[in-house]
Amino acid sequence: MHMRFTFVFLHLTQLVLTCPGLVCLFSADEATGYGPVFEEQPVDTIYPEELPEAKITMNCRARANPPATYKWRLNNMIIDLNEEGSHYSLAGGNLVISNPIKTKHEGKYSCLATNIYGTVISQEGSVQFGCKWPRCEPPFNDGIVPWRTALELHFFCCVSLCAADLSFRWILNEFPTFIPLDNRRFVSQKTGNLHISKVDSSDTGNYSCIASSPSISKSVFSNYIPLVPQAERPIRKYPADLEVKFPETTALIGQNITLECFALGNPVPEIHWKKMGGNLPHSHEVRMAGAQLHLFNVQFEDDGTYRCEAVNSRGKDYHTARVSSNFGCDCSTNGCVSDSKVTKILFLHGPKKHIFRMLQNVILVIQSTITICIYKLCDTFILVSRCTYYVCNKYCPSSACAPTFEHNPVKRVLAPKNRAVVIECRPKAAPKPTFSWSKDTELLSNSTRVFIWEDGSLEILNVTQADEGRYTCYAENDRGKANSTGTLLVTESTKITLAPSNSDVKVGENAWMQCAASHDPSLDITFIWSLDGRVIDLHKDGRHYERTPNGSSNGELLIRNAQLKHAGRYTCTAQTPVDNVTASAHLVVRGPPGAPGGVRVINKTDKSVTLQWSRGADNHSPISKYTIQYRDSFSRDVWKNAPTSPVDVEGNAETAMVVDLFPWTEYEFRVIATNTLGTGEPSSPSPKDKTLKAVPVVAPSDVGGGGGTSRELTITWTPVQPQYYYGSNFGYIVAFKPQGDDQWMKVTVADPQANRYVHKDSSIPPSTEFQVKVKAFNSEGEGPYSLTAIIYSAQDVVDSRALSATEAIVSWLPLSQIHICLCMYQLKYWRNQEDSEGGAQKVVVSSQENHTRLEGMKPNSHYLVEIQGYNSAGFGPPRRIHIHTKKAPPSRAPKIIRKKLKGKSVNIAWEHVEPLANEASINGYKVLYRQQGQSTGTVYITNNRYIDLPLPPDGRYVVEVRARTDGGDGAVARIDISGGGVMTARSLGVLSLLLVALLCLNL
């Protein structure tokens, strides 16, 4: 037998060290190596078939040293990732399913993480495929519901049950106007159905259900269902009738659950919740105007029968069902793998007491919050707790045994006078024993005041001082008998001597809730206060709550600086170790109104909108007025008070018209309620909405202009601000005419941001006076013109002309020097096509000059000239002009054909020069007559091809002949003349020697 225990011990040692979740797992700080521990495990996944990305990812990640390797199982079968055509692949430990197919890939997946210390198996995560969402049909054929039969309206929200995490909302008429939920309207989150307790005219409209599922990131809308209530007077009154009832419910320990109840009736019923035989759990919350009871973090002590009651002035209805709790475990999903066999291991937390339960072949012992797993191996159990292993004796449920009170004797019990008391008798025995009781020496039997329960407990009703004494429980079965004795002591009952009374205060005032009680002097007493069933934490909310210390018989509660949230039903519980009593009162806190809801635009024009909203809470003081505020697309962060019609919006209104708005502008609106106690919080903003279009009414301002480049008319204006566009396709119409003309010229400028228009016309004289005006237009029409302005066309600011084939002259109007000293002008010029600006020639001119000559230019070329002023602050804006140089002069010199003396003169003749194709045409000839050695002399201009010159009396003279063109003077022919009449001729042209010879022959 000892060897068997040794084997079990070693086997479980390996399992425990590899199990994910046992507190005994080694960490990296405790050992150099350790088994896998899951950090991420697969979860249930729903794959919608219409998902654009055809892929499912199941997550798995484990911490381990050395690192873990991973395998996956589908429905407990290992997946072969290397199978040909497999849809599976691994990404780290994650399983990726590509192009999933419902018939192949739907099922339960689990992950196995392995290293040298062992293998752990994850929880299972299911893969389900999405399904179609059926359409909803109205519950009535024509959607018209007569009032006499529509005390309750039941709309079915038809959805698929393939998504377990659906939430439901209902729309009235249009998205996102959701049905407000109150004591008259209820949407079940179990079925999605909409229930209306009492239909009235405000319910008229078209209804649509929205079902949303976070797990598949999908929401669907049903078809719209019309509802038109038919009036019938007088309206009958009906008693409360529960329509929605919660079923018997079993919850896992630590789980949250929701119970639903909703009733029909006229007047609209109120819903109240109770737990039979006790108080509602501290961790409960009532929602949806009483229709839902939420229980958070369910524990064993929350087990019991719960009741919902629906009450109105005509009657009441109630429903009860049991709520049970159970362990949150699944033997098939958590465990360890060893030698390909699964040993079931459970990891749980339970209430703070010992609990023994059989679960298949595993017994759980839960003490405080420590879980102990007991594994049944043959007839022996192994206990595992915090890495300590114990071998225990046989546990009674596995075999018969006589009754024993060794571990659970009858206890000493205190009971309050005139109340009921239960004395427990819980021996361990198998099979179940029979029970009997005695008081002192008297044998007890069932009566109208004394009961022996089937489980052995003794109940005594209306106990008195005479019931004090020693009580003995006797237990007997076929294996033996046993007994145990306890004592009953009767104490004075606790009674409320000063109950709290209803109170009415304003926000910011203090309120007192009195409470005092009498109790047995041998017992301690404490007072517990709750608000609407939730215990007040005096430490956490000490700013608003204060009371006398425990131990005093006075439990008065001070509510300091009361706020709206402090209103409600206050319950004082006077509690001793034996009993407790309660008394309640209501606190009304009056304050500024709550925020209105559902603000939306229901009608609009170009300059106004009609708003509708739902009233918020008046907080016990009637609403006196509403303030409407707006913000537009041009001032998103600023809320402004809106002008309305009428000016004052009364407190009973739920619609208002906002006026004086801008056309074609996007607005948001909010509503603020005011009463005599102040102004409340604003509503949520309405959906953004844009007013209608209209013709512009604002004209551009600051119309002017003038100046600019020669032969131009520059018109300028300040653009219209966007809020005045009033419509799409916004632009400007520019009109202008010379002073005195009757006909306006008009030009359309389509850019809404434009601020100038330049009209070019070579026929415009400089400094001509013009009248100009500008107006706006949009898709709806044209607005008014601006005021007419007088402007002038440009002066000839810069002038230029080519002087020849290689020279040009540029002149300009001097720049203004009012504000800053102008030092120089710089001119750059370059051939526009052949050269780059980087190779431009530069000329610097003093600021005192307004012209300069450009030299070294190429004949017959298009030049770009840039002029700009500059000083120590830098260069000013440049102005550019174009110059085209003239063709080159003839490259061939005139041919002198005659030199003849005529008395005191000499006659010189030459042949006409024929220019080449790229040379300038001949305009005449220039003859220079000068004394040799001098650079100046007499210049003669002639259109003839000869000239008579005076014969010099003495000395030597030179005659030079050139052709004249617009591009300059051509090549030179030269001849010398002496005072004695003897001449030698020479040409400085290409054939100079030949010309000299010809002159000599002619002489």
Please tell me whether residues 170 and 242 are part of one structural domain.
Answer: yes
Amino acid identity at 984: T
Q: What SS3 state is found at 102?
A: helix
Which region among 107-116, 211-220, 734-743 has the lowest average model confidence (pLDDT)? 211-220
Taking a C-beta distance cutoff of 8 angstroms, is the pair 244, 188 a contact? yes
In the Cβ-directed half-sphere of 232, how many Cα atoms lie within 13 Å?
14
In this structure, is residue 574 part of a structural domain?
Answer: yes
In this structure, is residue 149 part of a structural domain?
Answer: no
Please tell me whether residues 628 and 548 are part of one structural domain.
Answer: no
Please determine, for residue 663, whether its predicted confidence score (pLDDT) is greater than 70: yes
Residue range 623-650: average pLDDT?
93
Please name the helix (run of DSSP H) or strand (run of DSSP E) that holds residue 244, with its range, or none.
strand 238-244
Give the pLDDT band (50/70/90) at residue 816: low
Please tell me whether residues 189 and 286 are part of one structural domain.
Answer: yes
Taking a C-beta distance cutoff of 8 angstroms, is the pair 124, 109 a contact? yes
Number of domains forming the structure of the chain:
8
Which region among 184-193, 389-398, 643-652, 817-826 has the lowest average model confidence (pLDDT)? 389-398
Residue 356, C-beta contacts closer than 8 angstroms, at least 6 positions apart: 363, 364, 365
Residue range 665-674: average pLDDT?
96
* pLDDT tens, residue by residue, 468-514: 999 999 999 988 999 999 999 999 999 999 999 999 999 999 999 99
Q: What pLDDT shows up at residue 165?
A: 63
Amino acid identity at 583: A
In this structure, is residue 3 part of a structural domain?
Answer: no
Give the pLDDT band (50/70/90) at residue 904: confident
Please tell me whether residues 429 and 445 are part of one structural domain.
Answer: yes
Please tell me whether residues 185 and 304 are part of one structural domain.
Answer: yes
Taking a C-beta distance cutoff of 8 angstroms, is the pair 262, 290 a contact? no
Question: In whole angstroms, how large is the CA radius of gyration of the chain?
Answer: 54
Please tell me whether residues 772 and 732 are part of one structural domain.
Answer: yes
Residue range 252-259: average pLDDT?
83
Taking a C-beta distance cutoff of 8 angstroms, is the pair 100, 64 a contact? no
Write down which residue in 491, 519, 549 finishes a domain.
491
Cα–Cα distance between 715 and 699 in angstroms, integer?
15
In this structure, is residue 262 part of a structural domain?
Answer: yes
In this structure, is residue 518 part of a structural domain?
Answer: yes
| pLDDT, mean over the chain | 80
Please determine, for residue 463, whether its predicted confidence score (pLDDT) is greater than 90: yes
pLDDT higher for 990 or 567?
567
Give the pLDDT band (50/70/90) at residue 53: low
Residue range 582-599: average pLDDT?
94
In this structure, is residue 345 part of a structural domain?
Answer: no
Pairing relationship of beta strands 262-266 and 304-312 according to DSSP bridges = unpaired
Please tell me whether residues 650 and 773 are part of one structural domain.
Answer: no
Return the residue matching tokens 């043959």. 378
Which range of residues forms the domain containing residue 419? 401-491
Give the pLDDT band (50/70/90) at residue 255: confident
In this structure, is residue 1 part of a structural domain?
Answer: no
Write down which residue in 590, 620, 642 finishes a domain.
590
Give the pLDDT band (50/70/90) at residue 888: very high
Please determine, for residue 943, whether its predicted confidence score (pLDDT) is greater than 50: yes
Give the Cβ contact number of residue 872 at 10 Å.
7
CATH of the domain at 648: 2.60.40.10
Q: What pLDDT shows up at residue 707?
A: 67
In this structure, is residue 376 part of a structural domain?
Answer: no
Q: Which tokens sit at 268?
A: 């609209």
Using a CB cutoff of 8 Å and minimum separation of 24, what contacts does 454-459 make? 455/425, 455/426, 456/424, 456/425, 456/426, 456/427, 457/422, 457/423, 457/424, 457/425, 458/422, 458/423, 458/425, 459/420, 459/421, 459/422
Please tell me whether residues 177 and 321 are part of one structural domain.
Answer: yes
Residue range 124-142: average pLDDT?
59
Which region among 298-307, 560-569, 685-694, 722-731 has the lowest average model confidence (pLDDT)? 298-307
Please tell me whether residues 193 and 121 are part of one structural domain.
Answer: no
Q: What is the DSSP string of 390-414?
A: EE-PPPGGGS-EEEE-SSSPPPPEE
Amino acid identity at 772: V
* pLDDT tens, residue by residue, 162-171: 445 677 888 8
Please tell me whether residues 86 and 196 are part of one structural domain.
Answer: no
Amino acid identity at 421: V
Residue range 377-390: average pLDDT?
33
Strands (E), 615-691: 623-632, 640-641, 644-645, 649-650, 655-658, 666-675, 678-679, 689-690
Taking a C-beta distance cutoff of 8 angstroms, is the pair 153, 226 a contact? no
Please tell me whether residues 191 and 258 are part of one structural domain.
Answer: yes
Return the residue matching tokens 């409320």. 496
Give the pLDDT band (50/70/90) at residue 361: very low
Please tell me whether residues 860 and 968 are part of one structural domain.
Answer: no
Q: Which tokens sit at 556?
A: 């008065």
Strands (E), 858-953: 862-871, 874-875, 879-884, 896-902, 905-910, 924-931, 938-942, 946-950
* pLDDT tens, residue by residue, 751-768: 999 999 999 887 888 778
H helices within 623-727, ranges in order? Answer: none
pLDDT higher for 661 or 838?
661
Write down which residue in 862, 885, 908 finishes a domain.
885
Which of 63, 21, 75 is closest to 332 using CA atoms? 75
Amino acid identity at 175: F
Q: What pLDDT shows up at residue 358?
A: 40
